[in-house]
Amino acid sequence: MKTDIHPANYRYVVFQDMSNGHSFISKSTAQTRDTIKWEDGKEYPLIKLEISNTSHPFYTGKMKLVDTAGRVDKFMNRYKDHGKKK
């Protein structure tokens, strides 16, 4: 097995699902500039997630369209006249 290939700077980080506000804390090496005050009163780095197990349709059983940057609207506007007879 190779030695010294894993990062050594693991620290506690809060992950927050931006679609429903669910947060959890875990260890990570991911870098971020954002911070958040956690339930224990300490401040931790914050990683913002677009989707997590609390909002993903596979885990919730509900079909939900996640459109984070207006991609669907952009697509619909681009191709709204496609297929219309002239």
Copy the structure tokens of residue 47: 């990683």
Count of structural domains within the chain: 1
Q: What is the pLDDT of residue 67?
A: 60
The reply to whether 37 falls in a domain is yes
pTM of full prediction above 0.75: no
The reply to whether 42 falls in a domain is yes
Tens of pLDDT, residue by residue over 50-86, are 888 787 766 677 765 556 667 777 777 888 777 776 6
The reply to whether 3 falls in a domain is no
The reply to whether 83 falls in a domain is no
Contact 12, 44 (CB under 8 A): yes
The reply to whether 26 falls in a domain is yes
Q: What is the pLDDT of residue 78?
A: 81
26: containing domain: 11-78
Tens of pLDDT, residue by residue over 8-60, are 889 999 999 988 889 999 999 999 999 999 999 999 999 999 888 787 766 67
Kindly give the residue spans of alpha helices, DSSP state H, lying in 4-70. Answer: 57-60
